[in-house]
Amino acid sequence: MSAIILGPGDALLIVDLQNDFLPGGALGVPRGDEVIAPINQLIALYRARSLPVYASRDWHPHDHCSFAAQGGPWPPHCVADTAGAAFTSELALAPDTIVVSKAVTAPVDAYSAFNGTGLAETLRERGVRRVAVCGLATDYCVLNTALDGIEHGFEVLLVPEAMRAVDVKPGDGDRAVTRMLSRGALPVRLSEGKLVADLSLGAQP
């Protein structure tokens, strides 16, 4: 079993754990609620080592271009300052969580937490070199965030048990995971409260 030793340079990045993306929300991800428990474990793991926790959120104006009324693909969701846009209260976010708001203006959509947010610079200033990515949804914002993270030169740990997919087309989530791994993300899983490499997901020997 290959344990991942967390230390300086590590950070946790939780993608879009907002009420609208949970079952019953405006754009509920099927079984999205199942990620809350593992993400809370991840938060505890990183906080125990005083490592930074980042949480991105979709933070749209009411007339955002991704909404159907504007010709976009989605129902209205995550409108800034509404209950749907709030992080789920079941998430054990500490007051020092660094919140990253994205797609905050009407004409621009952003699936990636790196897109238009200054996140790469913020991470570098903090000395972060490796981010563990988890959250919703695997096939949209998690996918684009992880790929951008790699593009920006960060090592990316992927926590599949702590993410769920929209699966507009069946298999979208699995294909997204395959894409992230093929670009160099390392799959990890929680084992007895620690992170270990997930060799079952095609990591190279």
Q: Does residue 58 interact with ligand VGL by CB under 6 A?
A: yes
Q: Does residue 137 interact with ligand VGL by CB under 6 A?
A: yes
Residue 97 partner contact from Zn ion, ligand VGL, none using kind-dependent CB cut-offs of 5 to 8 Å: none
User: 9 vs 82, which CB is nearer to ligand VGL?
Assistant: 82
User: 58 vs 198, which CB is nearer to ligand VGL?
Assistant: 58
φ/ψ (deg, to 5) at 150: -65, -45
Buried b (16+ CB within 10 A) or exposed e, 46-59: bbeeebbbbbbbbb
Residue 16 partner contact from Zn ion, ligand VGL, none using kind-dependent CB cut-offs of 5 to 8 Å: ligand VGL
User: 42 vs 136, which CB is nearer to ligand VGL?
Assistant: 136
Residues 71-110 that bind ligand VGL (CB under 6 A): 74
Q: Does residue 59 interact with ligand VGL by CB under 6 A?
A: no
Q: How many residues bind ligand VGL (CB under 6 A)?
A: 10
What positions carry a catalytic annotation? 16, 102, 141
Rounded CA gap, 159 and 172, in Å? 17
- CA-based radius of gyration for the chain: 16
Q: Does residue 58 interact with Zn ion by CB under 5 A?
A: yes
Residue 137 partner contact from ligand VGL, Zn ion, none using kind-dependent CB cut-offs of 5 to 8 Å: ligand VGL
Residue 161 partner contact from ligand VGL, Zn ion, none using kind-dependent CB cut-offs of 5 to 8 Å: none
3-state secondary structure 93-104: CCCCCEEEEECC
Residues 11-40 that bind ligand VGL (CB under 6 A): 16, 21, 27
Rounded CA gap, 198 and 187, in Å? 5
User: Cis peptide leading into 11, omega within 30 of 0?
Assistant: no
How many other C-beta atoms are found inside a 10 Å radius of the C-beta of residue 33?
Answer: 19
Answer for the pair 158, 146: CB distance below 8 angstroms, yes or no: yes
Minimum separation from the CB atom of position 159 to ligand VGL (A):
16
Q: Does residue 140 interact with ligand VGL by CB under 6 A?
A: yes
Contact positions vs Zn ion (CB under 5 A): 58
Contact positions vs ligand VGL (CB under 6 A): 16, 21, 27, 58, 66, 74, 136-137, 140-141
